[in-house]
Amino acid sequence: MKIGVFICHCGSNIAGTVDCVKVAKNAEAFPDVAYSTDNMYMCSEPGQDHIVEMVKKHDLDGVVVASCSPRMHEPTFRRAVERAGLNKYMFEMANIREHVSWIGKDKDANTNKASELVRMAVEKLRRNAPLFSKKFETIKKVLVVGAGVAGIQAALDCADAGLQVVLVEREPAIGGKMAKLDKTFPTVDCSSCILGPKMVDVSQHPNITLYTLSEVEKVSGYVGNFSVNIKRRAPYVDFSKCTGCGACMEKCPAKKTPDRFNEFMGPTTAINIPFPQAIPKKATINPQYCRKLTEGKCGICAKICPTGAINYEMKDEVITEEVGAIVAATGYDLMDWKSNYGEYGGGRYPDVITSLQYERLLSAAGPTGGHILRPSDGREPKKVAFICCVGSRDRSIGRPYCSGFCCMYTAKQAVLTKDHIPDSQSYVFYMDIRAPGKLYDEFTRRAIEEYGTEYIRGRVSAIQPDGKGQYIVRAADTLLGKPVEVAVDLVVLAVGVEGAKGSGKLAETLHISYDNFGFFLESHIKLRPVETNTAGVFLAGSCQGAKDIPSSVAQGSGAAAKVIGLLSKPKLESDPQISNVNIKRCVGCGKCVDVCPFQAITKENIRGEIKAQVIEAVCQGCGLCAATCPQGAIQLSHFTDNQILAEVNALCQC
C-alpha cells in the first residue's frame, strides 16, 4: 500500500503552535507512507488539486490529511480523493487543529501529538477498504413539527414546491407565538394581519395535512424513509361538522377555564376557539375543565351545537405517517422567571406581568379588547416600567445568553403604550440596547426621541408595592452612577427565552442534540445552521436559538430549501459505513439482533443454519452489534475491530 500524507498549516491556525514541516518529515517514516508534505491550506483549491496530482504521480492507494476536524472537512477531502480516482473511503483525517493546535501553546508537545495522530490515521488507513454506496428511494413527504411562523413558512415553501407536508401543532390553533402578538417591530404593523393570510394558506393548501392538538411520539427509520407516530389528543369536537360559529362558547357554563392563548390574562370557557382568526377555526374542549368530562353532568354545548359536532366519547389517537424529511420548528417558551426573580415579586404582584401577557392586553382580540388595563384593578396605567433581560445575560442564575429580540419588542411596546394612552410615561430599564437588524436602531431611537420613552441603563434590583396601588421600581442608573426609584402602575418584564417546553424529549425522539436551555443543536453554527447531525432532520426558527420574526421566516425558508433539495434527488445514496456479517463466523445466536436499536438485523436460515443478516438500508452504522458479537462475526465497515485495534496499537505500542 502507498499512502500520501498531507499536513495542513491552516494559515497560522495550525502552524502557529505545531511544526507542520516536522510532522510531515516524521510521517515519512511511518509504514507504507510513500509521500509526505505540508501545505498552507489543504482545503483550498490548490491544496485539493495537490492531493489529486500526488495521488496520480506517486500512484497512491490512500490519503491522510492532517488538518481540522473531520466533522468539518471530511466530506471535502473525500471528494478530492474521489476526483483523484480513489475510493473515497481510502482516506483518513487527523484532527490537529481543534484537538491540538487550538488547545495548547506548547509547540513541542503539539508537534509530537500531531505526529502521533497522523501515525494513528496511517495505521487505520492501512486497514481501510474501498466501500460502495447503494441507492435507495425516498418518500416525497415532509413532517414539520410546530406551526409557528417558522414552521408555517417551511410548510408552505415545501408544499409550494410540490412536496406533501404533514404539519403537527401541539396547541389547538396554529400561529405560535406570533399569533399572540399585537403588532410587530420595526414597522408596527398588525401581527395577525401579516400572519393571518399565511395561516389561511396552510389550511387551504392541497399539499398540507394539518394535525393540531398533536405531538410527535416516536420516530423510526432514516433519511428519506422515516416512520412517525403522531399522538393526537381528542378535541371532543368533530372537525368535519364544526363550523366555528362559536355558539357553544357563549353557553358553556365552565367560564373559569384558564386561557392559555391569552397567557392566562383572563378566563375563558372549557369549549372554545382560542382567537377569532384561529386556524383551524374549530372549537375544542379542554377536558380538565369541561363539566361533562369531569363531572359527567352538563352537555350544554352538545345541545346547543347546530351541527351536532360535539362528541364526548372521542379518544386520543395515534396516527402513523411515512415521511422523507423532518423539520423541527418548535419555537421557544419564556424561562421560569417566577422562581428565579423573587426580587420582582416572583409572580405575587398582579401588576408585574410578562411582555407576552402585555401583548395580549394590547391586542384588540385580547381579553381587554385592546385596552391596557391593570390586572389588579382594571385601571388604565399612566406609568409603565419595562424591565429588560429578566433571565437573559444573567450569569447569577445560569443564563449567559442574550434572548435577542427583547430590546426591540420592548421599544415597540413602549411606543404602543403611548399610542394607547397618550398621557402615559414609559420607563425602560436596560443593560445594553441590542438593535442590529434592518431599521431596528432607527426604531429604538424613535421610541426614545419621538415617544419620550425614558431609557434607564441599569438592572432593576427590586420591585415593591407602595401600598397605595403603585409599585416602586429600584435600580442603579449605571450611566449617572446613582440609584433611581420610579413609582409606576404596571411593570412589564422582558423575560428571557429558552427552548419550548418538551424540546428535550422531542430531541431525543428525533435523535438530535440539544443544549442545557432546550435549544436544538445545529450541524455547524455558521455554515450548516438549519441542518442537524441527523441526516434528514432540519431546524427552523427559535427552536435552534432565540430569533425574531424575520430570522425565523428566513430559517423556515432555509430549512424548506434543504428539504426540497434533499427530496428532489430521484434516489439517495446510502452510507456504506454499516455492519457486515461474516457468515462463516456467525453462530446465529442473535445477540446482535437483540441489541440493534434499529431492528436492522434479522436472522435468516441460510442452508439450514441460522445466520444474522444486516438490512443495508436500515443499518445506521452505530456499531453496537460489533461490540456485542463475541466472535467478531459482525463488523462495522470503516470502524472494524482491526481498524480500532490498529489505532490503539499505534498509540500504545510506540
Q: Round to whole Å and give the CA distance between 67 and 367.
A: 60
Q: Is 654 in the site for other proteins (CB under 8 A)?
A: yes
Provide the minimum distance between the beta carbon of 200 and other proteins in the complex, in angstroms, as a whole number: 38
Q: Does 76 bind other proteins (CB under 8 A)?
A: no
Q: Which is nearer to other proteins, 498 or 647 (CB)?
A: 647
Interaction between residue 544 and other proteins (CB under 8 A): no
Greatest alpha-carbon span in the chain: 91
Tell me which residues in 599-618 interact with other proteins (CB under 8 A): 608, 610
Which residue in 32, 82, 98, 217 binds other proteins (CB under 8 A)?
98
- How far apart CA 92 and CA 118 sit, in angstroms, is 9
CA 290 to chain centre: 35
10 Å CB burial of residue 216 (0-12, 13-18, 19+) is buried
Which of 164, 368, 534, 580 touches other proteins (CB under 8 A)?
534
Please work out the total of residues on this chain that contact other proteins, with binding judged by CB under 8 A. Answer: 77
Q: Which of residues 628-647 bind other proteins (CB under 8 A)?
A: 628, 630-633, 635-636, 639-642, 644-645, 647
Among 2, 56, 103, 308, binds other proteins (CB under 8 A): 103
Interface residues for other proteins in 562-591 (CB under 8 A)? 577, 582, 584-585, 587-591
Looking at the Cβ atoms of 73 and 282, the one nearer to other proteins is 73
Per-residue binding string, other proteins, 480-519, x by CB under 8 A, is ---------------------------xx--x-xxxx---
One residue of 148, 366, 536, 621 binding other proteins per CB under 8 A:
621
Among 12, 69, 320, 461, binds other proteins (CB under 8 A): 69
Q: What is the dihedral of CA 90, 95, 96, 100, to 10 degrees?
A: -160
Residue 74 CA: distances (Å) to CA of 68, 155, 514, 517: 9, 32, 23, 30
Among 32, 116, 380, 441, binds other proteins (CB under 8 A): 116
| DSSP states along 333-350 | EE--HHHH-GGGTTT--T
Nearer to other proteins by C-beta: 136 or 639? Answer: 639
Residue closer to other proteins, measured from CB, 37 or 620 = 620
Query: Is 133 one of the binding residues for other proteins (CB under 8 A)?
Result: no
Q: Are 36 and 3 in contact (CB under 8 A)?
A: no
Q: Does 422 bind other proteins (CB under 8 A)?
A: no
Least gap, CB of 428 to other proteins (angstroms):
32
Smallest gap from residue 651 Cβ to other proteins (A): 5
Nearer to other proteins, 266 or 504 (CB): 504
Of residues 439 and 525, the one with the C-beta less far from other proteins: 525
- Give the residue from 530, 531, 537 showing the smallest Cα distance to 508: 537
Is residue 535 within the footprint of other proteins (CB under 8 A)?
Answer: no
How far apart are the C-alpha atoms of 559 and 553, rounded to whole Å?
Answer: 10
Q: How many residues does the chain have?
A: 654
Binding of residue 598 to other proteins (CB under 8 A): yes
Edge-first strand order for the sheet with 490-495 is 352-354, 490-495, 383-390, 425-430, 454-457
Q: Which of 328, 624, 644 is nearest to 499 (CA)?
A: 328
- Rounded CA-CA distance 574/572 in Å is 6
Shortest distance (Å) from residue 646 CB to other proteins: 9
User: Considering the rule CB under 8 A, would residue 533 count as an interface residue with other proteins?
Assistant: yes
x/- string (CB under 8 A) for other proteins, residues 11-30?
A: ---------------x----
> Hey, what amino acid is at 357?
Q
- Secondary structure of 456-519 as H, E, C letters: EECCEEEEEECCCCCEEEEEEECCCCEEEEEEECEEEEEECEEECCCHHHHHHHHCCCECCCCC
Taking the complex as a whole, the smallest distance from the CB of residue 616 to other proteins amounts, in Å, to: 16
Q: How many angstroms separate the CA atoms of 433 and 388, rounded? A: 9
- Outline where 126-189 has alpha helix (H): 149-160
Rule CB under 8 A: choose which of 73, 78, 97, 141 binds other proteins.
97
Query: Cis peptide before 274, with omega less than 30 degrees from 0?
Result: no
Write down the least CB distance from residue 590 to other proteins, Å.
5
Q: Quick one: 355 or 643, whose CB is closer to other proteins?
A: 643
